[in-house]
A and B are shown apart, each in its own frame.
Chain A
Amino acid sequence: MNQFSNLFSRRQFMRLVMKSMALLAFLQTGVLFWFVRKSRAATSLPEGYNPKDHKWCMSIDVRKCIGCGRCAAACKMENHVPPEPYYFRTWVERYEVHGTDEPIITSPNGGIDGFPPQNSSEEFEKSFYVPKLCNHCETSPCTQVCPTGATFVSPDGVVMIDYDYCIGCRFCIQACPFGCRFFNPETQTADKCNLCYHRITQGLLPACVEVCPVGARQFGDLKDPESKIHAFLAENQVDVLKPQLRTHPKVYYAGLDKAVK
């Protein structure tokens, strides 16, 4: 009898363990929802701005870019990006292509200080500049891997980071195939382009688009029939970066060469 009760009570013990785990899971879900609500409520958007009405994107015409780097400089200023030459929300690359050789690619200080004369004494068949930034991927791997949800996609298509929530695990930086993210030493969180969210929600242009002297960068709204992006997509041979990875970028390039990484 004693044995039986011993066995029984141990079973009960196991059951207790199971029950407490279930309870924990339940509580966790509750807390989760509470948090999500709280964070939603905390987002302050300007009066009259409804994220659901927009789908922001960018178009870049590689043939127009002159590599002045003003976009990268403006971005650093506008968004308080650390000054070091290895933290960028946007940067410009120069490609020098000679025949079928591997291209020579450079981006000294992200192109902010402009580019030195060409790298090789040889004549290049092609040389061009490619501005890069976060592609605000429709199926963004960075969002997928973030363990807390600090990286999220806003209803207007902008992939953003909640800096008060990010734990700084840097998983997202590993997951971005385009090198668009960096670890901000000041905030100790991940960081990247948010299309100047503070500006676009007030009807302004992102800083890089604003300062581009040749209009190589254009800002667009896929949900706005008036937006110039529709003509851009219709009239050009358009490509995105690394389409094979199926991240569905929303930064569209015209005149992109196969040399571009």
Chain B
Amino acid sequence: MAPNINPAMMEALQHVKGYIFPNELELQWGILIVIYPYLTGLVAGAFILASLNRVFHIRQIEPIYRLSLLTALAFLVIAPLPLLFHLGHPERALEVIITPHLTSPMAMFGFVYAWYLMVVLLLEIWYDFRADIVGFSKTKTGWLGMVYRILTLGFMDTSEKSLAVDDKMGRIITIIGIPSAILLHGYVGFIFGSIKANPWWGTVLMPVIFIFSAIVSGIALMLVLYVVTGRARNTPIKTECMDAMGKFLFYALVFDFALESLDWFHRFYEAEESIDILVLLVSGKLLFSLVGVQLILGTLIPLTTLGLTQVLEIPKKPRKIMYFWSAILILIGIFAVRWNVVIGGQLFSKSFAGFTTYKPDLIGRESLLVGSILLIMPFIILWVLTRFLPPWRGVGKEISHSS
């Protein structure tokens, strides 16, 4: 054997089951590519939750409206990083945007991302926070005041009429934003769904499942953040807000679960050439993360718990606790969903005759360490954002968002 052989790979070679094509030993997409759809899913989900309030006037979730927008932004800023880090040549990343190869789903990344970030999210946040920014630009001094003054873009008018314009523009952008958020995440689903070589990925339902799981994870995240920020700021956690979010979460989860089940039913019924290997995959290598975490922990338990809150008269306090823990379980469950899609899809050979293994490194470029940092970063950014543009009512300038 040549001296430069990687011991981890040689060990992996021992764990191969059945026959894999020789080049398939190494997994091409690791933990970072698990995190990428997880993050974009949270962006899309948080944004869609905010839009519900905006477009359909669901007043109960008003308290988390602006926080959801900032959360979407914080996660969106980090979302491209895992992609970038996993490239063999990150320095050439801009080639994708400068010279996109138009038949590639991945080449659309730049456009979809730029559209969503620039046109939708930033504009929406600007319209929503403009009155606050103007307020701060007048009270803050030094470089901070300078930043606020620049951010007003020169529109200092905060009269009733001007605010009404803000509100109107915000609504229009939200209406554009909902399909954009769906596009953003549906597109990520398509990156996987378009691979016909891989039966685990290549299904038309993939983008749809991605979108629904995104909505589920986004609502769960906002529910958790609402409780955590409420606790941290010592403000009352409104039951009606929790109830509304719990309800959305329940129905979104029911829908998501139904879609996933449909996918499985379809696969079993059609029983195409890949079904044997997929069954082996699910009952073997993915048993823990798919059946254990995704199905039982992340779907069935929260589904039951949330279901109980919908049908039984449960007192406020335990009800809120049930919402909170269901949301936590769902967040873990959706991470498992991403893992099962990305890693699961690469564990079996395209010969459909065997399996390889995957064990993420602890440190290094594509490692658990980098992965954890990427998962924590959005929260730090969110914390900074909430300092800079407090989303809570009553902080900064009180304005009305009702229409």
Contact = CB atoms under 8 A, between A and B. Distances in A.
Interface of A: 2-3, 6-7, 9-10, 13, 17, 21, 28, 31-32, 35-36, 83-88, 91, 93, 102, 105-107, 109-110, 132, 141, 143-150, 165-171, 173-183, 187-189, 245, 261
B400 interface: no
Contact of B2 (A84, A146, A173): A84
A2 B157 contact: yes
Contacts of A83: 2, 4-5
Interface centre among A9, A110, A147 (most CB of B within 10 A): A147
Contacts of A178: 21, 350
A111 to B, nearest CB: 9
Given A3-B162, A149-B99, A91 B104 contact: no
B197 interface: yes
Given A83-B5, A145-B106, A147-B101, 4 more contacts: A2-B157, A165-B95, A166-B89, A177-B196
B197 A174 contact: yes
A109 B165 CA distance: 69
B23 A167 contact: no
Interface string B91-120: 011011111110111110100000000110
B interface, over-half SS: loop
B197 A28 contact: no
Contact of A173 (B6, B28, B95): B28
B88 A167 contact: yes
B22 interface: yes
B387 interface: no
A32 B353 CA distance: 42
Given A166-B88, A179-B351, A261 B19 contact: yes
B101 A141 contact: no
Contact of A167 (B20, B26, B87, B351): B87
Given A167-B89, A189-B88, A261-B353, A145 B194 contact: yes
Nearest to A245: B196
Given A6-B165, A147-B104, A84 B28 contact: no
Nearest to A188: B88
B104 A146 contact: yes
A173 B13 CA distance: 19
A174 B195 CA distance: 7
Which 9 pairs of residues, A with B, have the shortest CB-CB distance? A168-B88, A179-B21, A188-B88, A177-B197, A261-B351, A149-B101, A105-B19, A147-B106, A83-B2
Contacts of B289: none
A110 B169 CA distance: 62
Contacts of A107: 19, 21-22
Interface residues of B, number: 62
B25 interface: yes
A144 to B, nearest CB: 5
Contacts of A148: 92, 95-96, 99-101, 104, 107
A141 to B, nearest CB: 6
Nearest to B162: A6
Contacts of B93: 167
Contacts of B103: 143-145
Nearest to B127: A10
A181 B21 CA distance: 10
A10 B25 CA distance: 56
Instruction: Select the residue from A176, A179, A181 with max chain B CB neighbours within 10 A.
Output: A179
B377 interface: no
8 contacts: A109-B22, A145-B194, A165-B92, A167-B88, A169-B83, A171-B104, A176-B350, A245-B197
Interface string B167-180: 00100000000000
A261 to B, nearest CB: 4
A144 B104 contact: yes
A2 B150 CA distance: 21
B199 to A, nearest CB: 10
Interface string B1-39: 110111001000100001111111110110000000000
Given A148-B96, A174-B195, A177-B197, A105 B162 contact: no
A10 B197 contact: no
A179 B157 contact: no
B153 interface: yes
Contacts of A143: 103
Contacts of A10: 155, 165, 169
Nearest to A142: B197
Nearest to A149: B101
A28 B4 CA distance: 42
A182 B96 contact: no
Contacts of B100: 28, 32, 147-148
B139 interface: no
A132 B22 CA distance: 11
Contacts of B23: 86-88, 173, 179-182
Nearest to B119: A17
B197 A86 contact: no
B349 interface: yes
A35 B98 contact: yes
A6 B196 contact: no
